[in-house]
Amino acid sequence: GSSRISFLTISILVAFVFGCASPTKVTDLVPQSFFPGVNVHKMEGSVNVRTMVPTGTTDPTYVSMDVTEWIDSNKLKEAIELSITQQGVFSEVNQGQADYILEVWVDKIQNMLEITGEGFIFDFTSVWRLTNTKDNKIIVCDFVKGHGASRGLARRAYPPSISAATIDMIQKGLFSVSDQSQSHLTAISS
């Protein structure tokens, strides 16, 4: 009787405190719009998107963790392609031959915990490279960072933090790719 109730109570308490993190869907990673006041320059032609995301945090300051249920190469690729289509950055997304190749490498995924600050934080550092396939000229090769934070119980706070960091990175990356007002070649030496 009472030991069964105690076990049930403890189980519920453990589930509440540690929570269950649900996997993210691609739509959780797609920006709803660009930054206010930012005009996206449409690139004429098709683009082939290629991505690479590490399976876990790199140089963690909080704790080392596997991030594949929330972000991986396929989810990032699909989220970028959907963002390109929704925002009209290129004429079309193409899986085969295309006018441009957009390569996105997430180099670092760092996580932090600020108990009195933003809560659970994820910061991404990535390289976005856009190449014209006609002449193999690199048009953009830029470092792009993404930042996301969420308050709440640990495992429940991870997905919204990672989603926010991914959305931030995609917004900044697509702006860098489409911005014709200045050169975006800061990562060319890497």
pLDDT beyond 80 at 92:
yes
Lay out the sheet containing 100-114: strands in order across: 90-93, 43-52, 100-114, 119-132, 137-150
What share of the chain has pLDDT > 90, as a percent? 55
Measured between its terminal Cα atoms, the distance across the chain in Å is 65
Strands 43-52 and 100-114: parallel
Q: Which residue has the tokens 């049930």?
A: 8
pTM of the model: 0.85
- Please give the biggest Cα pair distance in the chain: 76
> Which pLDDT score is estimated for 68?
92
Which DSSP string corresponds to 114-157? Answer: ETTTTEEEEEEEEEEEEEETTTTEEEEEEEEEEEEEE-SSHHHH
pLDDT beyond 70 at 35:
no
> Which pLDDT score is estimated for 148?
96
Helical segments of 50-98, H only: 73-87
More confident call, 161 vs 5: 161
Confidence category of residue 107, pLDDT binned at 50, 70, 90: very high
Mean pLDDT of the chain: 85
pLDDT beyond 50 at 158:
yes
Q: Three-state SS for 80?
A: helix
